[in-house]
Structure 1
Amino acid sequence: MPLVSVIIPAYNAEPFLERTLESVLSQTYNHLEVLVIDDGSTDRTVELVQSVAQRDRRVRLLQQPNSGVAIARNSGIQAAQGEFIAPIDADDIWYPQKLEKQVRVMLQDTSAGLVYTWSIYLNETGELTGGYKTSRLEGNVYFALIQGNFVGNASAPLIRRTCFDQVGTYNHQLKAQNAQGCEDWDLYLRMAERYPFRVVPEFLVGYRQTVSSMSRNYAAMSRSHSLTMAEARRRNPDAPAVVYRWSSSRYCACLAMQSSWCGDYQDSLVWMCKAIALDLTLLLQKQTYELLFKSALKQMARPFVSGMGGDRGSGLWAKRRVEMSRTGVSIAELNTRAVEETQPQSWYHTVQARRWQRIIEGASTPFPQGQQQG
């Protein structure tokens, strides 16, 4: 059985880290080493990890001055001894068969550089919100990955260790440029230039979303996206220019949703208008109008409802999230629903599917940087 190195960057992670470690150590695939990189925490993160490490020798604590998540992950990768690298953020969880199913795919397809899985969204107490992230994209995914980070989050992939030798590790320079937010996306793009991706189409990651954990530095996140895409375009100048415009539109829409979630309604309006200006197909989605209307209404009403929290039901997938929350849906039910969602559900999705089919058919080489390397 190949060793899997689990990498957990942790900064003041005391509220959620124990649950995260429990989910990792309870994996059905148990040939693991778990490296927790304390990034200069000032709470009880270190004591918590030391306590768990005394009970389970697979857990190892590394410590460094506060340097940011990219350097913390890179420190873990450097110290790792496993054939596969599995990052997870300190507030997320894995469901029991996550690593087992990903390792199985890796062993079946030795050319694959990264295997991802689907994510279900959790609230602060660990309950399902009903929101989720799915994708069935695999193989040469480079152009699709430019448009959006369909891998979803940093806790979803299992990565072949040898890939880092070819493409490098997480880009810590983004933090130095006050442009944090796209470190994982940047890495996935470099990997997709050389390696095929594979997917386990099941919900095996619990991705925790709380207002306190979300960055509200939207300008820095936008700058992170711009720098990441500029570097991708420099490496692959022949990629269709329209793909980068779609990517910018999609990212602005994500910032609009995030700012609405955090209660920053004026910012939400600004980012949504930028998204529409870059890609008019957003006007084919009724959720676009819902977000604009809700943000405008709440911004105007702010003096009268200043104590109201963020719009946690808003966004391009709001209706789906609310309906699922009301029914108390389980992960098994979500897996069933996701399998059934095979056809476009709106004009927007139909247009998206058609234009992406044209882009994929126009891809001239198996990989932008040539064939994958082992």
Structure 2
Amino acid sequence: MNIVIIIPAYNEEAHIEKCLTSLVNQSYSAKHILVVDDGSTDKTPDILSSLCSTYENLTYASRGKSFSHEPGSKIVEAFNFGLSSLTSSYDILCKFDADLIFPNHYLETLRKAFEANSKLGMFAGFCSIENNGVWQIEKLTNPDHIRGALKSYRQNCFRDIGGLTSAMGWDTIDEMKARYYRWEVETDKTLVVKHLKPTGLHYSKCLPIVFGISLFRMRYSFALAFLTCFKMALNKNELDFFYKAMLAYLKSNSRKNSFLINEKEGDFIRKYRWRKIKQRLF
């Protein structure tokens, strides 16, 4: 089973070598690891050049200066740039972040999961962050959600969902579309990856606004958006996040923001979310 990995990277000189070293030393090797340098201004390109001369299955492509700064869009556009220049065939396509350290059995576990279940469309482990010297699993989302940093797709699933949406919320849209097209989405709590940077570190000021807008664009109802924003605020311990996100959601309709999914997909997402909420409550 051929695994291809695309890693968008921007100014990752502090982390990129650790990330790539953990991937090239896996117990099951990826066929191709492609890093997309998204216009880095630090030593990231130099590090990539050195590593790529050492490992045969590792290459990098330079995208030049990136003009997108919106959370979600920037990283997806870099990923899509890499995808368009990809020449390797694959059975499994991975989109990983550049600030992760993978356990050496990660790809082997991933391969076995896809081989064991022909209906499995997406699979991943969990991100952990360091807190006072102890690595703890990040708990910003539900355990059945695959973090944007750790995406992997069966080829046919990736085709069915139409690739990745270049907007905030892409990492929810992809797995909801996968479920809509009857693919299974699975996470493995025993498969823990070290996440070297806190999620959303560079987007802390605008994140509540784009988060609220993204819920509208994914056709969340008011009640569902209310609960989602409130939960996120609690997870972040930032009550202000709730107010800003909900205000952005409410203003989205008057600004005529376009939807990211069609009506049938939106109906599926709302029903799925409510079903999960009821399961957790009862």
The two structures have a TM-score, normalised by structure 2, of: 0.74
Q: What is the letter of the counterpart of residue 127 of structure 2?
A: S
Q: Please say if 1:226 is aligned against 2:225.
A: no
Q: What is the letter of the counterpart of residue 165 of structure 2?
A: N
Give the aligned partner of residue 77 of structure 1.
83
Superimposed CA distance per residue, residues 230-281 of structure 1 (whole angstroms, 9 cap, x where no aligned partner): 2332xxxxx8764333222223334x43xxxxxxxxxx342367799xxxxx
Give the aligned partner of residue 69 of structure 2.
none
Q: What is the letter of the counterpart of residue 115 of structure 2?
A: L
How far apart, in 1, do the equivalents of 2:34 and 2:217 lie? 30
Q: Contact 1:222–1:252 at 8 Å: present in 2 too?
A: no
| Aligned-pair CA distance for 1:31 | 3.7
Superimposed CA distance per residue, residues 100-157 of structure 1 (whole angstroms, 9 cap, x where no aligned partner): 112111111111110121222137x9x54435448654xxxxxxxxxxxx32x22323
Higher helix share: 1
Task: Note closer, same or farther for the CA distance 1:62–1:354 as it changes in structure 2 (3 Å cut).
Answer: closer
Give the aligned partner of residue 54 of structure 2.
55
Which residues in structure 2 correspond to 1:357-372 (within 5 Å)?
357=279
**3-state SS of paired residue (1:60):** strand
Q: Please say if 1:209 is aligned against 2:197.
A: yes
Q: Contact 1:4–1:83 at 8 Å: present in 2 too?
A: yes
Task: Note closer, same or farther for the CA distance 1:355–1:57 as it changes in structure 2 (3 Å cut).
Answer: closer
| Aligned-pair CA distance for 1:23 | 0.8
Higher strand share: 2
Q: Contact 1:18–1:48 at 8 Å: present in 2 too?
A: yes
| Aligned-pair CA distance for 1:192 | 3.0
Q: Please say if 1:105 is aligned against 2:113.
A: yes
Give the aligned partner of residue 232 of structure 2.
251
How far apart, in 1, do the equivalents of 2:230 and 2:143 lie? 22
Give the aligned partner of residue 20 of structure 2.
21
| Aligned-pair CA distance for 1:202 | 0.8
How far apart, in 1, do the equivalents of 2:244 and 2:43 lie? 42
How far apart, in 2, do the equivalents of 1:354 and 1:41 lie? 40
Q: Contact 1:10–1:90 at 8 Å: present in 2 too?
A: yes
How far apart, in 2, do the equivalents of 1:65 and 1:81 lie? 25
Give the aligned partner of residue 182 of structure 1.
169
Gaps of 5+ in 1: 138-149, 175-180, 234-238, 258-267, 277-351, 361-374
The count of corresponding residues between Structure 1 and Structure 2 is 245
How far apart, in 1, do the equivalents of 2:142 and 2:79 lie? 25
| Aligned-pair CA distance for 1:89 | 1.0
Give the aligned partner of residue 122 of structure 2.
114
**3-state SS of paired residue (1:118):** strand
How far apart, in 1, do the equivalents of 2:179 and 2:27 lie? 28
Task: Note closer, same or farther for the CA distance 1:205–1:100 as it changes in structure 2 (3 Å cut).
Answer: same
Task: Note closer, same or farther for the CA distance 1:205–1:96 as it changes in structure 2 (3 Å cut).
Answer: same
Q: What is the letter of the counterpart of residue 154 of structure 2?
A: R
Superimposed CA distance per residue, residues 281-340 of structure 1 (whole angstroms, 9 cap, x where no aligned partner): xxxxxxxxxxxxxxxxxxxxxxxxxxxxxxxxxxxxxxxxxxxxxxxxxxxxxxxxxxxx
Q: Contact 1:6–1:34 at 8 Å: present in 2 too?
A: yes
| Aligned-pair CA distance for 1:221 | 2.0
Task: Note closer, same or farther for the CA distance 1:120–1:44 as it changes in structure 2 (3 Å cut).
Answer: same
Q: What is the percent sequence identity of the aligned residues?
A: 20
Give the aligned partner of residue 196 of structure 1.
184
| Aligned-pair CA distance for 1:52 | 0.8
CA RMSD of aligned residues (A): 3.3
How far apart, in 2, do the equivalents of 1:251 and 1:358 lie? 16
Task: Note closer, same or farther for the CA distance 1:182–1:128 as it changes in structure 2 (3 Å cut).
Answer: farther
Gaps of 5+ in 2: 67-73, 247-273
Q: Contact 2:127–2:138 at 8 Å: present in 1 too?
A: yes
Q: What is the letter of the counterpart of residue 240 of structure 2?
A: V
How far apart, in 2, do the equivalents of 1:81 and 1:136 lie? 31
Higher-Rg member (1/2):
1
How far apart, in 2, do the equivalents of 1:354 and 1:61 lie? 40
Give the aligned partner of residue 153 of structure 2.
159
How far apart, in 2, do the equivalents of 1:46 and 1:187 lie? 30
Give the aligned partner of residue 33 of structure 2.
34
Q: Contact 2:37–2:62 at 8 Å: present in 1 too?
A: yes
Give the aligned partner of residue 44 of structure 1.
43
Select which of 67, 73, 86 maps to 2:94: 86
Deviates more, 1:2-11 or 1:195-204: 195-204
Q: Contact 1:12–1:44 at 8 Å: present in 2 too?
A: yes
Q: Please say if 1:356 is aligned against 2:278.
A: yes
Which residues in structure 2 correspond to 1:229-240 (within 5 Å)?
229-233=215-219
